[in-house]
Structure 1
């Protein structure tokens, strides 16, 4: 899939992404570490019903301002689910979900399972985001990594749940490009909202 660098909708997304990152940063700065930990454990609790119905959970290694899915991933592991994380062979490759712990640095400075780990197809994918709207349109980091993977995962029956802080849920609509795959729901420490 080719994702053009700047369509009119993409230009609007640049401004929205900048505003959403600032809102997320301001929210994080006012949290002390213990409160943040409690919120991330609360996120795991909100996700528990979805996790309990899933056999393979796709997560991610979070960036400093992103909500951590790791307490939710631990909950899934404790229930016997297989955990998977995105893994890139190089900067040009499309990522694959590989089973196992993220113990090796990948080309994008995020940890990932070893490339020799088995590829799996999660039935629940916890999707990182910069922002999301009420229709499930996701605003990501802008490199198109998830855009290249989500449609294939949905075709295989995966439930796609965006995860973030409640401040990342926008009232305004995010302009959708043709390659955008709407998410099935959004989970924050405050609750889960399903869109479809």
Structure 2
């Protein structure tokens, strides 16, 4: 399902606020078993992508974000290294470390311990606020992922936005620094985008 866009120029801050509120409202309707069921369906739809991965980067879900925890377990089951973002310094891009996110890092986000090995993922599961059919991702607005995804994409990593199905909207005006994603995965399926 693609949510229609508005017939006037989009204010990305307003779009972000509205999309985050919609996501919160949706998650409030889910009990724990239903949320787990949907997150397991997400993992099922990622099976083919994860099958040949060497290093899969996920994230520790915040609030109403869909959790890729079951997909990360599946990645481990096929022999991939599971990696998560970790900040060493708030002014530098985060790095992916090959360990579970069981430490609280900068910004209060769970991350691997800083002594874990740095790894380079070939598949990255990317959190998002919204995404459009061109692969334009709307994040939280801090640019952390944009800085990290650019070199990964250049080196051939497969970038997959992960969210609830309604987070696919008609259009997000891209900024020059936006890194287009390769696909969008939700509990309803995997949508691959045409390469630009």
Fold agreement, TM-score > 0.5: yes
Residue 46 of structure 2 corresponds to residue 47 of structure 1 = yes
Question: For 1:15 and 1:148, how far apart are their aligned partners in 2?
Answer: 23
1:35-93 deviation line (CA, Å, top 9, x unaligned): 00000000000000000021100000000100000000001111111011001012212
Residue 74 of structure 2 corresponds to residue 56 of structure 1 = no
1:159 aligns to what? 158
TM-score (norm 2): 0.92
Provide the secondary structure at the position in 2 that maps to 1:167.
Answer: helix
2:14 aligns to what? 15
1:189 aligns to what? 187
> How many pairs does the alignment contain?
186
Structure 2 alignment gaps of length 5 or more = 1-8
2:6 aligns to what? none
1:123 aligns to what? 122
TM-score (norm 1): 0.92
Contact 1:52–1:76 (CA under 8 A) maintained in structure 2 = yes
Which consecutive aligned stretches of 4+ in structure 1 deviate over 6 angstroms post-superposition? Answer: none
Question: For 1:163 and 1:188, how far apart are their aligned partners in 2?
Answer: 6
Question: For 1:111 and 1:144, how far apart are their aligned partners in 2?
Answer: 18
How far 1:154 moved relative to its partner? Answer: 0.6
Structure 1 alignment gaps of length 5 or more = 1-8
Provide the secondary structure at the position in 2 that maps to 1:85.
Answer: strand
1:9-34 deviation line (CA, Å, top 9, x unaligned): 9x821011011111111111111111
Question: For 1:28 and 1:102, how far apart are their aligned partners in 2?
Answer: 22
- 1:1-196 correspondence to structure 2 within 5 Å: 12-171=11-170, 173-196=171-194
Question: For 1:165 and 1:182, how far apart are their aligned partners in 2?
Answer: 18
Root-mean-square deviation (CA, aligned residues, Å) is 1.2
Provide the secondary structure at the position in 1 that maps to 2:106.
Answer: coil
